[in-house]
Chains A and B, each alone.
Chain A
Amino acid sequence: MPPLLRNGPRLAMVAALVATVSSACTIGSLDDSGAVADYPSRGLSILAPGSVGGGWDSRARGIGSALTTCRTIDEDVTVTNAPGAGGTIGLARMAGRGGDPYQLMTMDTVTMIGGALQNHSPVKLSELTPVAGLTVSTSAIVVPARSPFHDLRSVLAAMRKDPKRTSWVGGSLGGPDHITVAGLAKAEGIPARKVTYVPTGGGGEVLNLLLSGASKVGLSTLTEVRPQIEAGKLRVLAVSGDKAPEGIDAPTLGELGYGDEAVVSVGGVMAPPGLSDDEQRAIVRVVDRMRRTSCWKRALRQNDWKSVWVPGKTYGALIDKQQHQVGQALTSVGLGS
């Protein structure tokens, strides 16, 4: 070690500090010329508005790895996380990236609209540029095998008689399950806020509350309750979607005449506000190529997601419609506003 440094530790410290900080903070400029034809000409960043390991995160990482591992694009993809406040922290961050076509975000329509309403988010999901809807999951209305209810009508009849006693259990407050229950109540002329709806963290808890006999009726994604249905412990009364999946003997909500009440949350990708139509189309093209890769198909299989394709403006129209629907439903149960 040079004598100067050995003799002057303070000097050495200052030197080290200055060297590191100056290297750290040298301002570099990033080239931002984004000709639409060669999009993406630099690395993409995908924001997951939830914690690492959660649903939005696994979708962001699934898309990221399908883009790179299956060589959809030559550039790299970075996944960042902005958890908190039902996704609205991520939503606000996206709103702040206006005009940047290299920043994408994963989300779910109903869940995020509800989160934004409940958290009084200053930004609405519909302000962002819609890219595409990619996944949906089928949900099911189930009762324990020994339940007196054999169809949805008898459940609703019991609800009319005593809305408090016919207790529902499902996903988070103001989420798609809750909104479906509120919609069903409204269609039957029952004030939605009289209905007992117990929100849970999802699948396992719903099962436990139903099988232990605590709750009467439950809502869950079909994949989470399928083993118990097949084992004969649960009975399906209705499923969401256009037709019941194979092996499930139940009518859809649409067939029962409640097609409008069931809201389906479509998982997909959004881009920041303020993009041109060309830029939006360029991103849609990349995502479209991505969803055809074997990597994405593997991710779908691993996570039990059902694939859909709702590109660009169609996705935007869906979001606008659901924004309205969710807003009304939340007001009717006493949430939001």
Chain B
Amino acid sequence: MDVLNDLMGGFGSAFSPLHLLLAFAGCTLGSLVGVLPGLGPATTVALLLPLTFVFDPTGALVLFAGIYYGGMYGGSTTAILLNVPGETASVPTTLEGHPMARSGRAGAALATAAIGSFVAGTISTVGITFAGPAMARIAEKIQPAEYFAVMVLAFATVTAVVAEAPARGLCSLFLGLAIGLVGIDSLTGQARYTFGVPELYDGVQIVAVAVGLFAIGEALYTAARLRRAPEERMLPVGGRIGMGPEDWRRSWKPWLRGTAIGLPIGALPAGGAEIPTFLSYNVEKRLSRHKKEFGKGAIEGVAGPEAANNAAFSGVLMPLLTLGIPTSATAGVLLIAFQMYNVQPGPQLFETQSALVWTLIASLYIGNVMLLVLNLPLIPLWVKLLRLPRPLLTAGILVFAALGVYALSQNAVDLGIAVLFGLLGFGMRRTGYPVAPLILGAVLGPMAETQFRRAMAFSEGDWTVFFTRPLSAAILCLSLIALAGPMAARALRRTRAREPNPAG
């Protein structure tokens, strides 16, 4: 089989000493940064971006695969031990994992998270291996009209993700879109929102935006509350890290269910990781025979969402690699990394950069194994890291945030932009505005505009092109459903709430 041959080729390249070393370094560094409180995978990838500059594209992407997964593993450790989720998708882990840690079962929680992530990551990578090339072949037929429709769908699902506060979520998304507009218009050469600053002509550096919003924003937030908010208590890892037979029995089904939920939703060109993790949490809560334990440390509530999170993360790579469309903030930062190496993900990637793609996929397998083998024994080390005084940790985060931005362009303007976005991220966080839509808007916005205008250029100004092409019309209909669905759901709940016995 072609796929297996390609994959074997990929493994051949991934098993070279340099690539193994890079995968190892990526996993370790990813976990190291991901474990820092408040730093999720998107920030981890953005912070470690400059480390990859000096390698050839393949080596750099192998390093990235490690950082990507490592950031997530590290994030679940913080969620369980500190009750601090690195991003929205790890909130369910805090709901069950932290109570488990408080009752002395941190070892089991960490183990089920790690093993669940491994299971989900591996199954999902198998999925990418076989579905990726197929999807790329379909994607070859896709024209700008469809690309635009897919991005509309992505925007629609983002608003669904922020459904609990649609107005604020949309504010964030539109501000991101506005930031994406800055720079010289690639289709007409006209300067937009540059105010005569030459450093802005090529647009605002997304890495500066991401690092500013997440890392510097986090540092400011910590600074604001350091003295008044009671410090998060680091919970000790009780007992050994591992699971008893009962834990295994209660974990394996949630792992598989989590994977089954996470992979397809993540792989949709509009996925993201938030919906599947919360969905998985609810499914486990409903199916569990230990319903009463939920909220007090039910292992299913860690196993399922962690697996779903990891599966969705791998799934997100599908639209990223085959269409070049990032559907989560982390994928957005990854896309920047690809582009920095002049690797343009898209339908042609599997063909034109076959060796690179398959090495990347092979290193996803390797990274998963490495993290399982590495991460569990290294947890005591991460715990020590988390015990560092908060002022030093925060100072370190700031140093690396500044380094990440500065090393990229070597000018202070980008650093200034990052500081501005840090202030913005801090303000948004205090006032209940989600920041992930902003990043996604800033990355996807320019792509959507370009595809829209290309479609119009090719159709010679005929607006109906988006509806006369069947695929484009179908995707736009889906977007409408994604937009209207949550509203209908809310309306329905409102009706139910008016009834005398509201359904709990």
Contacts and interface: CB of A to CB of B under 8 A. Distances in A.
A and B touch in the complex (CB under 8 A): yes
Interface in A69-107: 80-86, 88-89, 92
B126 interface: no
A199 B457 CA distance: 11
A288 interface: no
A331 interface: no
Nearest to A330: B189
A182 interface: no
B351 A198 contact: no
Interface stretch (B141-149, B246-254, B477-485, B489-497): B141-149
Interface string B330-352: 00000000011110111111011
A82 B411 contact: yes
B454 A173 contact: no
A54 B336 CA distance: 12
Which one of B53, B141, B202, B407 has the greatest number of beta carbons of chain A within 10 Å?
B202
A208 B411 contact: no
B187 A85 contact: no
A84 B351 CA distance: 31
B343 to A, nearest CB: 8
- Chain B interface main SS type: loop
Given A52-B340, A335-B189, A84 B141 contact: no
Contacts of B140: 208, 211-212
Q: Assign chain B's interface to a size class.
A: 35 or more
Interface centre among B56, B186, B324, B410 (most CB of A within 10 A): B410
A202 B186 CA distance: 13
A86 B53 CA distance: 20
A173 B186 contact: yes
A203 B410 contact: no
Contacts of A92: 198
A52 B186 contact: no
B184 interface: yes
A84 B407 contact: no
B457 A52 contact: no
Contact of A203 (B141, B340, B344, B411): B344
A268 interface: no
A84 B187 contact: no
Contact of B454 (A54, A211, A214): A214
A204 interface: yes
Contact of A174 (B189, B454, B458): B189
Contact of B201 (A84, A202, A204, A227): A84
B201 A214 contact: no
A265 interface: no
Nearest to B194: A85
A135 interface: no
A52 B324 CA distance: 21
A203 B342 CA distance: 10
A208 B409 contact: no
Interface string A198-221: 110111110111011111000000
A53 B198 contact: no
Contact of A53 (B142, B199, B340, B347): B340
A328 interface: no
B454 A84 contact: no
A53 B351 contact: no
Contacts of A86: 184, 201-202
Contacts of A208: 140, 142, 346-348
B418 to A, nearest CB: 15
A173 B187 contact: yes
B342 A205 contact: no
Contacts of B458: 167, 196, 198, 214-215
Contact of A81 (B186, B349, B351, B410): B410
B464 interface: no
B171 to A, nearest CB: 29
A336 B188 CA distance: 10
Contacts of B342: 53-55, 202
A164 B199 CA distance: 34
Interface string B191-213: 00000001101100000000000
Nearest to A89: B198
A289 B56 CA distance: 25
B143 A51 contact: no
Interface string B120-163: 00000000000000000000111110000000000000000000
Contacts of B427: none
Contacts of A335: 189
B499 interface: no
Contacts of A205: 344, 346
A224 B352 contact: yes
A297 to B, nearest CB: 17
A26 B390 CA distance: 33
Nearest to A206: B348
B409 A83 contact: yes
A119 interface: yes
B348 A204 contact: yes
A83 B199 CA distance: 8
A208 to B, nearest CB: 5
B50 interface: yes
A82 B202 CA distance: 12
A243 interface: no
B201 A198 contact: no
B198 A201 contact: no
B408 interface: yes
B198 to A, nearest CB: 4
Given A85-B201, A173-B186, A212-B142, A165 B460 contact: yes
Contacts of B454: 198, 209, 214
A92 B56 CA distance: 29
B144 A84 contact: no
A165 B352 CA distance: 29
B187 A199 contact: yes
B179 to A, nearest CB: 16
A293 interface: no
Given A55-B342, A209-B144, A203 B352 contact: yes
A214 B411 contact: no
B143 A84 contact: no
A165 B461 CA distance: 11
Interface string B54-68: 001000000000000
B344 A202 contact: yes
A167 B457 contact: yes
B429 to A, nearest CB: 29
Nearest to A87: B202
A92 B411 CA distance: 14
Given A167-B458, A224-B352, A204 B344 contact: yes
Given A207-B348, A224-B352, 17 more contacts: A54-B340, A81-B409, A84-B409, A85-B199, A89-B411, A119-B201, A173-B187, A173-B189, A199-B187, A204-B324, A204-B344, A205-B344, A211-B348, A213-B141, A215-B458, A227-B351, A227-B352
Interface of B: 50, 53, 56, 140-144, 184, 186-189, 198-199, 201-202, 324, 339-342, 344-349, 351-352, 407-411, 454-455, 457-458, 460
14 contacts: A53-B341, A54-B342, A82-B410, A84-B198, A84-B199, A84-B201, A86-B201, A92-B198, A119-B198, A164-B460, A201-B344, A202-B342, A205-B346, A212-B141
The 4 A-B residue pairs whose C-beta atoms are closest, nearest first, are A85-B201, A204-B344, A53-B340, A214-B143
